[in-house]
Amino acid sequence: MHDHDLTLDLPLERHTLDNGLRVVLHSDRALPLICVNLWYHVGSKHERPGMTGFAHLFEHLLFEGSAHVGPNEHFRHVQRAGGNANGSTWYDRTNYYETLPSNQLDLGLWLESDRLGFFLPAISQHKLDMQREVVINERRQRVDNQPYGRAIEVLYETLLPEAHPYRWPVIGYVEDIERATLDQVRTFFQTHYVPNNAVLTVAGDLDGAGGAARVLDRIAHFFGEIPPGAPPPPPPVPFVQLDAARRVELPDRVQLPRVYVGATMPAYGDDAWYAGDLLSTALTSGKTSPLYVDLVYERQLAQDVVCYVLPLEEQSTFTMIATCRPGVEAAALESALHAHLDRAAASPPADADLERSQNQNLMMHFRALQNLDHRADALSRATTFFDDPHRVATEAQRLQRLGGDDVTAFAAAYLRPEQRATVVVVPQEAA
């Protein structure tokens, strides 16, 4: 059975300020909270080899104060108001957000507009040096000192050609992070941090903040005076596919080998992207999924298996990951994964797997949208990528209308053996 008829009501307004800032308002009175969520259309794809990690390092600096907000004061102001704040950098974008009690909207708008309009006077070499150290430690903690930490980097290095904008990791390489200069910080800010390169979503208890009309007034009050700029067009991202399979072995400080298989696929938003997403759910989501049943449950070749597609703006990736059981050779697991991908292109998923996947995707949609900050972020994303916040509400239906043949066609077009990159992480020889 399908539960297609369930939809989530997402009341929306959208506006554009004279300076080009796009604004989305979403009303939800379930909790006395309001989210201020700002997306800048700049991410690691705007970097070049030699300056990798810069967009993310820059994000750190944007928390170090602006003309009217002292160092560490951003978090202090937000916490004093009873709120949370954070930011993140990704391939296509950088986001900044505050979740606040709904009577504290002005604080979020003041903080975000101050760093968009008045950031440069506050930067210093000391702040850059300190955050450089913090970011290098972040990389060590999340990547270099984690088992399998470099595997995804190596997979992308294997899958994508030199200088392809999605090839390097968002966090960047240490030698590049060490190279970043204050001049680059200034230029990066002036180039990308302009109102017409941003989307601002305010979501939550708009009535508690004085009603939608007042919220819009306050947004104009804080952001209206910031002049627009001329953001450069995004870097061209050619759609690439491998034409011959590639394979890399990566020794690491691990007990159990792990196999990564990746391929490129169309961008988020394309019909084929949703087919890829549906396939990934069909293959590995849940204990009754065919890869779990075969690899983990029955043959017990794997400790775990997972498969996912990323929502990237220009072209996306399909990734499958499985870890060997103790005593299992990586080659056995590797060939089993490739056989499953071959099968996906040869015949459609079983009806039960398709039904499960579509219902799971609908549930995931609801579960993801429980958090106001996730809703706000989804609205900013849909507006940044598609200029259409309403896509958030219809996202689940895009998956529901796909059938087994769409999934097979996707696998036949994008997951052929010659299109796959494989990285096998193997235990390092003992020193």
Partner 1 sequence: MGAPTAPLDRSVPPTLAAPMPYALPSFHRATLSNGMQMLVLPVARVPLLMLEVMSHAGADVDARAQAGRASLATALLDEGTESRSALEIAAVAERLGGFVGTGLDWDIALVRTVLLARHLDRGMDLLAEIVRTPTFPDDEIERQRQQRLGELLRRRDQPQLLARLALMQALYPSDHPYHGSVLGTPTTVETLDRAVLRSHYANHIASPANAVLLAVGDIAPEAAIAAAERGFGDWQPSADARPPQPPPPMPKASPRRVIVVDRPGAPQTQLFLGQIGVARSAATAADHPARVLMNGLLGGLFTSRINLNLREQRGYTYGASSAFAQRRGPGPFTVGAALTTENTGDAIEQVLHEITRMRETPVSADELEEARRYLVGSFPHTVQRLDGLRGRLAALVAYGLPDDYYDTYPACILDLDAETVRAATRTHVEPEALTIVAAGPAALLTPQLASFGDVEVWDAARAVDPLAAGDARA
Site for partner 1 in 252-271 (CB under 8 A): 253-256
Stretch that binds partner 1, among 13-21, 87-95, 190-198, 271-279 (CB under 8 A): 13-21
Longest dimension (CA), the chain: 67
Q: Which residues, numbered 274-303, are part of the site for partner 1 (CB under 8 A)?
A: 285-289, 293, 296-297, 300, 303
Q: Which of 4, 48, 49, 129 binds partner 1 (CB under 8 A)?
A: 129
The closest of 183, 199, 268 to 231, measured between CA atoms, is 199
Q: Are 107 and 81 spatial neighbours (Cβ–Cβ below 8 Å)?
A: yes
**Total binding residues for partner 1 by CB under 8 A?**
92
Distance of closest approach, residue 384 Cβ to partner 1, in angstroms: 21
Distance of closest approach, residue 252 Cβ to partner 1, in angstroms: 8
Q: Which residue has the tokens 């950031």?
A: 119
Q: Which of 14, 110, 332, 390 binds partner 1 (CB under 8 A)?
A: 110
| Number of other CB atoms surrounding residue 18 within 10 Å | 9
Q: Which of 52, 94, 95, 99 binds partner 1 (CB under 8 A)?
A: 99
Q: Which residues, numbered 212-231, are part of the site for partner 1 (CB under 8 A)?
A: 213, 216-217, 220-222, 224-225
Q: Which is nearer to partner 1, 113 or 197 (CB)?
A: 113
Q: Which residues, numbered 150-209, are part of the site for partner 1 (CB under 8 A)?
A: none
Burial class for 118, CB neighbours closer than 10 Å (0-12, 13-18, 19+): middle
Q: Which residues, numbered 352-381, are part of the site for partner 1 (CB under 8 A)?
A: 352, 355-356, 358-363, 366-367, 369-372
Query: What's the chain's length in residues?
Result: 431
125 contributes a contact to partner 1 by CB under 8 A: no
Enumerate residues 6+ apart whose C-beta is below 8 A from 287: 293, 297
Q: How far apart, in whole angstroms, are the C-alpha atoms of residue 372 and residue 299?
A: 42
The closest of 199, 220, 204 to 84, measured between CA atoms, is 204
Q: Is 200 helix (H, G, I), strand (E, B) or coil?
A: strand
Distance of closest approach, residue 319 Cβ to partner 1, in angstroms: 20
Which stretches of 119-263 are DSSP H helices? 125-139, 151-159, 174-177, 182-192, 212-223
Measured CA distances, 351 to 39, 59, 354, 355 (Å): 39, 45, 5, 6
Distance of closest approach, residue 110 Cβ to partner 1, in angstroms: 5
Measured CA distances, 139 to 58, 69, 133, 142, 174 (Å): 15, 27, 10, 5, 8
Q: Which is nearer to partner 1, 112 or 313 (CB)?
A: 112
Q: Which of 10, 24, 38, 107 binds partner 1 (CB under 8 A)?
A: 107
The binding track of 397-426 with respect to partner 1, each residue x by CB under 8 A or -, is ------------------------------
Q: Which is nearer to partner 1, 220 or 409 (CB)?
A: 220
Q: Which is nearer to partner 1, 63 or 90 (CB)?
A: 63
Q: Which is nearer to partner 1, 107 or 250 (CB)?
A: 107
HSE, side-chain direction, 13 A CA sphere, residue 264? 26
Q: How far apart, in whole angstroms, are the C-alpha atoms of residue 211 and residue 231?
A: 32
3 contributes a contact to partner 1 by CB under 8 A: yes
Q: Which residues, numbered 307-346, are part of the site for partner 1 (CB under 8 A)?
A: 323, 325-326
Q: Which of 104, 197, 317, 380 binds partner 1 (CB under 8 A)?
A: 104
Q: Which residues, numbered 65-84, are part of the site for partner 1 (CB under 8 A)?
A: 67-68, 71-72, 75-77, 79-84
